[in-house]
Amino acid sequence: MVSNYLSIQIIMKKRKTQKINPERLQRFGFAYAPPLIISAAENNKAFDTLQTGPKTDEQIKKQLGDPEQGLRAFMDGIVRLERIKQDRHARYSLKPDT
């Protein structure tokens, strides 16, 4: 019994513990977000709006019927998912593979 206890203690000391990585936990916690953002973009015609060329967020608002607050954050989320791009003039446009 004592030898088993000592064996377990030795094994536990040899085992390295991983540090908690908050970024990894955040990625895991937000793993559901990309499909929801893409789905919302499709349902709200964000991609369709950009088919005719680059547009600013104001132009997108007009074409989509002046959506609620958060359009810029929403569009920036799609940029981060690499489905659209934003140029130096703050215009959004489709990426070739989108």
67 token code pair: 């959506």
Burial class (CB in 10 A: 0-12, 13-18, 19+), 7: exposed
Q: How far apart are CA 85 and CA 87, in angstroms?
A: 7
Check residue 24 and give its pLDDT.
77
pLDDT digits (tens, 9 = 90+) for 37-96: 999 999 989 999 999 999 998 899 888 876 667 888 889 999 999 999 999 998 999 998
Establish if 24 belongs to a structural domain. Answer: no
Residue 13 pLDDT greater than 90, yes or no: no
Residue 82: closest CA among 38, 25, 26, 31: 38
pLDDT of 5 = 57
- DSSP one-letter string for 14-43: HSPPPPP-HHHHHHHHTTTHHHHHHHHHHH
Q: Is residue 68 part of a domain?
A: yes
The answer to whether residue 37 sits within a structural domain is yes
Under 8 Å between Cβ of 85 and 92: yes
Identify the bridge partners of residue 55 per DSSP, sorted by sequence position. Answer: 92
Is residue 88 a part of any domain in this protein? yes
In a domain, 40, yes or no: yes
Q: Quick one: pLDDT band at residue 25, thresholds 50, 70, 90?
A: confident
Confidence at residue 33, expressed as pLDDT on a 0 to 100 scale:
87
pLDDT of 42 = 92
Provide the domain limits for residue 94: 30-98
Residue 73 CB-half CA count within 13 A: 3
pLDDT, residue 4, reads 58
* Residue 12, pLDDT score: 58
CATH number reported for the structural domain that contains residue 57 in this entry: 1.10.10.10
92 inside domain: yes
Q: How many domains does the chain have?
A: 1
Q: Quick check: is 2 in a domain?
A: no
Give a yes or no: residue 59 inside a domain: yes
